[in-house]
Amino acid sequence: MSFTTEIKNEICSNSYSRLENICMLSGFLRNNAEIDNDEIIILSENPKVVRKIFSLFKEIFDINPVIKQGKSNNFNKKNYYNIFIEDKFDIILKSLMLRDENGKSLKVPDDYFLDTEDLKRAYLRGVFLAKGSINDPKKSRYHMEFLVDTKEEASYIKDLLSYFDINAKIITREKGYMTYVKEAEKIGDFLRIVSANNAILYYEDIRIYRDHKNMTNRLNNCEQANVDKIINASEKQLEDISLIKEKIGLDAIDEKLKDAIVYREKYPEVSLSELSVIISTEIEKPITKSGLSHRFKKISELAEKLRKE
């Protein structure tokens, strides 16, 4: 069972108020219903979603839709379910804000329809049941999407998500428009909005694990980069030292530079910070990292001068 299916099943298992159920049904029908003459046809592969939609029509409109089961023609041969509704056709479409009082189709609901935060949440539940999906955070990248038929509905969903501080984007697809979110934290917020509490626990647990793993990897990368930097710097210093010893010998240079050379050869793999501590301890003459860096700069300049000569 996919993560998306688990979320939808959880949404269907929860109880909501009558107004919330009306708004959820509105969001579902607007995005998953074929309206033909005097009949509404709904298609779904999820039996729990089908049972939920059936019960909502029975509860709200006191009708018993007809359900017919079939099997898809693709290779996985999944079951699908058609819900057919003929009774109270006009009342349903007007009550759910799919048509206005004159029978004209509405591209999006009127403003007053979702006048509270709870009703906005309910509409988003319905849209998600119809056209939503969220990638399993354990198996793939963070991604939530709603693939809908019209640009107006895609923008309406985007605005509803924005109301809850979830920034979504819209792109055109071959078959409609996609409103999508890729921010891991915001996808978690959406699960809270639609009250998918079990899905939240699973999602956040995986997200925390992945964030911790990514942080560990970043720290390891930084540590490796620092080690590589230390090794490269040390190798360059040893090259300069070898050249100086070959060309003029150590007796010809300043005593302080000689100390730096001797200890770099003795401890070729330590950082400047560590080397400054070692020198300060062993010769009992304090030297800072910056002071030691200055000495190696002079050694480098001397080596470059010798190379040119």
What percent of the chain has pLDDT above 70?
97
CA gap 192, 188 in Å, rounded: 7
pLDDT digits (tens, 9 = 90+) for 112-153: 999 999 999 999 999 999 999 999 988 878 899 999 999 999
Give the model's pLDDT for residue 28.
Answer: 94
- Which residues of the chain are in CATH 3.10.28.10 domains? 3-195
The confidence band for 76, taking pLDDT boundaries of 50, 70 and 90, is: low
**pLDDT, tens digit, 9 for 90 and up, residues 54-74:** 999 999 998 888 888 876 665
pLDDT exceeding 90 applies to what percent of the chain?
A: 39
Question: Given the DSSP bridges, would you call strands 176-181 and 144-148 parallel, antiparallel or unpaired?
Answer: antiparallel
CA distances from 279 to 94, 180, 257, 264, 276 (A): 86, 59, 12, 10, 5
Q: Report whether 41 contacts 32 (CB < 8 A).
A: no
Q: What is the pLDDT of residue 53?
A: 92
CA–CA distance, 9 with 52 (Å, rounded to integer): 9
pLDDT at 29 over 90: yes
Local confidence band at 269 (pLDDT 50, 70, 90 cut-offs): confident
For residue 132, what are the β-bridge partners?
Answer: 146
Among candidate residues 182, 193, 306, the one with its CA nearest the CA of residue 247:
306
| β-pairing verdict for 176-181 and 79-85 | unpaired
Domain 3-195 class? alpha beta
Instruction: Read off the pTM.
Output: 0.70
- Range 88-117 average pLDDT: 88
For the four alpha carbons of 49, 14, 24 and 187, in that order, the dihedral sign comes to negative
pLDDT in tens, 206-237: 888 877 766 777 777 777 777 778 788 888 88
Residue 49 has pLDDT above 60, yes or no: yes
Residue with tokens 């709870």: 118
User: How confident is the model at residue 211, as a pLDDT?
Assistant: 75
